[in-house]
């Protein structure tokens, strides 16, 4: 499961860098992605990712934190699945249209920090 944690770490670092450096392109990519993907598929993908994080947490020095992230991903996947469609559409609209560039860069910075920390914690 080290490979999975490495992959997630590098993915978080790459997403963080792209979000910081290419904010408008990232926003447009997310807009197109959320318009194409069915929310049920997104929720199942998020829940599976959370389960894989829970399983692979033992390959980390700080397994409690990886388990926390996995549990949050499972809860988020369930919330997306159970959320009414109009509320989901409003949430996605807020995320891709209303947030400022500084907020996107903040999310990118947090993703970069999280990815770097997870990378350093893998056994």
Mind listing the pLDDT tens digit for each residue in 67-119?
Answer: 999 999 999 999 999 999 999 999 999 999 999 999 999 999 999 999 999 99
In contact, 53 and 69? CB cutoff 8 Å: yes
DSSP type of residue 37: S
Average confidence (pLDDT) over 14-36: 94
- Identify whether the C-beta of residue 27 lies closer than 8 Å to the C-beta of residue 104: yes
Tell me what pLDDT residue 1 has.
Answer: 83
Q: What is the pTM of this model?
A: 0.90
Mean pLDDT, residues 28-44: 92
* Tokens, residue 71: 């549990």
- C-alpha 34/C-alpha 39 separation (Å) is 8
Which residues does residue 122 pair with via DSSP β-bridges, in sequence order?
A: 60
**3-state DSSP call for residue 82?**
helix
* Token reading at 12: 């978080």
């Amino acid at each position: 499961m080290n490979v999975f944690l490495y992959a997630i770490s590098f993915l978080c670092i790459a997403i963080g860098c792209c979000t910081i450096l290419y904010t408008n392109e990232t926003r447009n990519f997310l807009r197109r992605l959320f318009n194409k993907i069915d929310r049920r598929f997104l929720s199942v993908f998020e829940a599976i990712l959370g389960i894989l994080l829970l399983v692979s947490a033992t390959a980390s020095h700080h397994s409690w934190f990886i388990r926390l992230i996995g549990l949050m991903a499972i809860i988020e996947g369930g919330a997306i699945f159970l959320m009414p469609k109009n509320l989901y559409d409003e949430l996605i609209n807020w995320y891709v249209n209303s947030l400022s560039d500084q907020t996107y860069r903040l999310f990118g910075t947090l993703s970069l920090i999280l990815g770097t920390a997870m990378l350093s914690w893998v056994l």
